Amino acid sequence: MDELEAIRKRKMERLQTMASKKTSGEVLILDDNNIKETVREHPFVVVDCWAEWCGPCKMIAPIIAELAKDYAGRITFGKLNIDENMGVAMTYKINAIPTMLVFRNGALVGQIVGALPKNHIEQKLQEYM
């Protein structure tokens, strides 16, 4: 009976942890140090790779913020400045920005490249859901 109770307790703790990691609708600021942990902890993550000098990146920034609110609880959105985080840029072979890296259950499942309209980005994300 004690073993069964211990299993129940572990399951409840795991469920509570998962519930607390639901996205709030805010865009996370990611870097070389926290991207792996973020991708591992959240089931569906979209990372907007951008740079300060990139005009198209600035154009889609408000779209990313809207999507983060629209998909709160379902998709975690993050922003990663590739000029300051070259490790990620090299690891995922990012050679054009804006590039959105799409992760599902810890694995890279796709990339969305370019400053696309909101409905196009949503359509692409639906393919990965």
Catalytic residue numbers read 54, 57
Spatial distance between the Cα atoms of 117 and 35, rounded to a whole number of angstroms: 25
Spatial distance between the Cα atoms of 99 and 95, rounded to a whole number of angstroms: 9
Side chain identity at 53, as an amino acid letter? W
Beta strands at 44-50 and 99-104: parallel, antiparallel or unpaired = antiparallel
Select from 56, 78, 87, 70 the least CA-distant residue to 122: 70
Q: What are the tokens at 77?
A: 């959105």
Select from 110, 94, 92, 27 the least CA-distant residue to 54: 94
